[in-house]
C-alpha cells in the first residue's frame, strides 16, 4: 500500500529565481526504507520538507503538482495531525533539542507533554523508548552535555516516542564518528523491523546498500534515477549522476570488465564474499 504519492511536483522558494524541485514523481510504499541520495543542492532536504508539510505550511513559495499523504493532499492536512504521522529528524541534532528541559528523560517526554497526555502514560512510553534504544544511562544527563552521537540518539528517541508511521531522517550521521553512525543505524534498523516507513537522506553508500530497499537519486532538483537498491547500486550511470557506488559494486563491475563472471554484481560485503566463494569453488580453486 502506498503511503505517500508525489506527482509532477515542482517547487520554487520565495525570493528564488529557479525551481528547487522539478517535476518530481515518487511513490513511497508503507514499511519500506527509501534512501534519498545525491550531491549537495540536489533538493533532498527540500523534498523532505514538502513530505513533512513544512512546505507549503510554513515556507510559502510556489508549489505545483500533487503530494498525497495517505491519499490526502498535503495542503489539506492540518500541521498538528501531520506532525504526529510523520516524524522529522534534523541533520544537526542540536536543532532538535528543545532547550527547555534539563535532563534526557524530560526532553524525550516533551512532545507527549505538549499533546496533553496523562503523566503516567508519558512515563511509561518514555521508559519503553529508553529501554528499546538502550540509552538508560543517559536519562539524567543534560541534553546539551551529550556527545554528538548521544544527542542524535536522544533526538531520535524524542521522535520515536511519538510513534509516527513515517520517519523522515535528514543526514543523521553526517556529524558522527563511525561508532555514533553504527548506533544510529541500529536504531534505524529497529524502526524498519517495526514496520515504519523511512525516508533517509544519507551519503554513506555502504550503509545504504545494507539497509535501504529503494534509492531515489536527486540532482539539481530532479529525480534522475530511482529503483530498488540493488538495481541502482550496480548501475555505473549512477556515478556520473552523483551517487557513489559501494566498493563491492565497483569490484564486481571491474571483474565483469575483465570478463570474470562472478555470477552477478555484489553490493554488500556479505554478497561479495558469497560471490567470490562460489566463483572460487567453480574454478576449482577452493
Q: Provide the binding-site residues for ligand ADP, judged by CB under 6 A.
A: 13, 16, 20, 40-46
Q: Which three cell numbers stand for residue 134?
A: 538502550
Q: Using CB distances below 5 to 8 A depending on partner kind, what does residue 158 bind out of Mg ion, ligand ADP, none?
A: none
Per the DSSP assignment, residues forming a β-bridge with 2 are: 29
Nearest residue (CB) to ligand ADP, 16 versus 128: 16
Q: Using CB distances below 5 to 8 A depending on partner kind, what does residue 95 bind out of Mg ion, ligand ADP, none?
A: none
Residues in contact with Mg ion by the rule CB under 5 A: 44-45
Q: Using CB distances below 5 to 8 A depending on partner kind, what does residue 41 bind out of Mg ion, ligand ADP, none?
A: ligand ADP
In this chain, which residue has its C-beta nearest to Mg ion?
A: 45
- Shortest gap between Cβ of 214 and ligand ADP (angstroms)? 17
Residue 91 phi, psi dihedral angles, 5° rounding:
-60, -45
- Shortest gap between Cβ of 94 and ligand ADP (angstroms)? 18
Which class for 71: exposed (0-12), middle (13-18), buried (19 or more C-beta within 10 A)? exposed
- Shortest gap between Cβ of 47 and ligand ADP (angstroms)? 7
- Shortest gap between Cβ of 22 and ligand ADP (angstroms)? 10
Nearest residue (CB) to Mg ion, 135 versus 198: 198
Q: Using CB distances below 5 to 8 A depending on partner kind, what does residue 46 bind out of ligand ADP, Mg ion, none?
A: ligand ADP
Q: Contact, 88 vs 198, CB < 8 A?
A: no
Nearest residue (CB) to ligand ADP, 133 versus 218: 218
- Shortest gap between Cβ of 257 and ligand ADP (angstroms)? 31
Nearest residue (CB) to ligand ADP, 24 versus 167: 24
- Shortest gap between Cβ of 174 and Mg ion (angstroms)? 9
Q: Which three cell numbers stand for residue 190?
A: 529497529
Q: Which three cell numbers stand for residue 239?
A: 556515478
**Separation of alpha carbons 25 and 48, rounded Å:** 14
**Separation of alpha carbons 51 and 11, rounded Å:** 12
- Shortest gap between Cβ of 20 and ligand ADP (angstroms)? 3
Nearest residue (CB) to ligand ADP, 46 versus 150: 46
Q: Using CB distances below 5 to 8 A depending on partner kind, what does residue 3 bind out of Mg ion, ligand ADP, none?
A: none
197-201 and 214-219 as β-strands: parallel, antiparallel, unpaired?
Answer: unpaired
**Separation of alpha carbons 57 and 94, rounded Å:** 23
Taking the CA atoms of 64, 219, 96 and 198 in sequence, report the sign of the dihedral they define: positive
Nearest residue (CB) to ligand ADP, 13 versus 251: 13
**Separation of alpha carbons 184 and 149, rounded Å:** 8
Nearest residue (CB) to ligand ADP, 44 versus 151: 44
DSSP letters along 34-70, please? EEEE-STTSSHHHHHHHHTTHHHHTS-SEEEEEEEET
Taking the CA atoms of 97, 100, 105 and 110 in sequence, report the sign of the dihedral they define: negative
**Separation of alpha carbons 165 and 245, rounded Å:** 30
Amino acid at each position: 500500500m502506498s503511503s505517500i504519492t508525489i506527482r509532477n511536483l515542482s517547487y520554487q522558494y520565495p525570493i528564488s529565481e529557479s525551481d528547487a524541485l522539478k517535476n518530481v514523481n515518487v511513490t513511497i510504499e508503507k514499511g519500506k526504507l527509501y534512501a534519498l541520495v545525491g550531491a549537495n543542492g540536489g533538493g533532498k532536504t527540500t523534498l523532505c520538507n514538502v513530505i513533512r508539510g513544512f512546505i507549503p505550511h510554513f515556507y510559502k513559495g510556489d508549489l505545483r503538482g500533487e503530494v498525497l499523504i495517505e491519499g490526502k493532499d498535503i495542503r489539506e492536512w492540518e500541521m498538528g495531525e501531520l506532525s504526529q504521522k510523520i516524524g522529522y529528524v534534523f541533520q544537526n541534532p542540536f536543532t532538535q533539542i528543545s532547550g527547555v528541559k534539563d535532563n534526557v528523560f524530560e526532553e524525550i517526554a516533551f512532545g507527549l507533554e505538549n499533546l496533553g497526555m496523562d503523566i503516567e502514560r508519558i512515563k511509561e512510553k518514555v521508559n519503553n523508548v529508553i529501554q528499546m534504544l538502550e540509552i538508560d544511562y543517559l536519562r539524567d544527563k543534560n541534553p546539551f552535555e551529550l556527545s554528538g552521537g548521544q544527542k542524535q540518539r536522544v533526538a531520535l528517541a524524542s521522535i520515536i516516542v511519538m510513534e509516527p508511521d513515517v520517519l523522515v531522517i535528514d543526514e543523521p550521521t553526517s556529524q558522527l564518528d563511525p561508532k555514533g553512525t553504527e548506533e544510529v543505524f541500529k536504531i534505524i534498523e529497529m524502526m524498519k523491523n517495526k514496520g515504519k516507513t523511512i525516508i533517509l537522506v544519507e551519503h554513506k553508500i555502504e550503509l545504504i546498500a545494507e539497509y535501504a530497499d529503494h534509492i531515489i537519486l536527486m540532482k539539481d532538483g530532479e529525480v534522475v534515477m530511482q529503483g530498488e537498491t540493488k538495481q541502482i547500486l550496480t548501475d555505473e550511470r549512477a556515478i556520473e549522476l552523483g551517487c557513489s557506488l559501494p566498493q563491492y559494486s565497483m569490484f564486481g563491475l571491474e571483474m565483469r570488465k575483465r570478463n570474470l563472471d562472478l555470477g552477478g554484481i555484489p553490493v554488500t560485503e556479505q554478497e561479495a564474499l558469497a560471490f567470490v566463494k562460489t566463483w572460487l569453488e567453480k574454478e576449482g580453486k577452493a
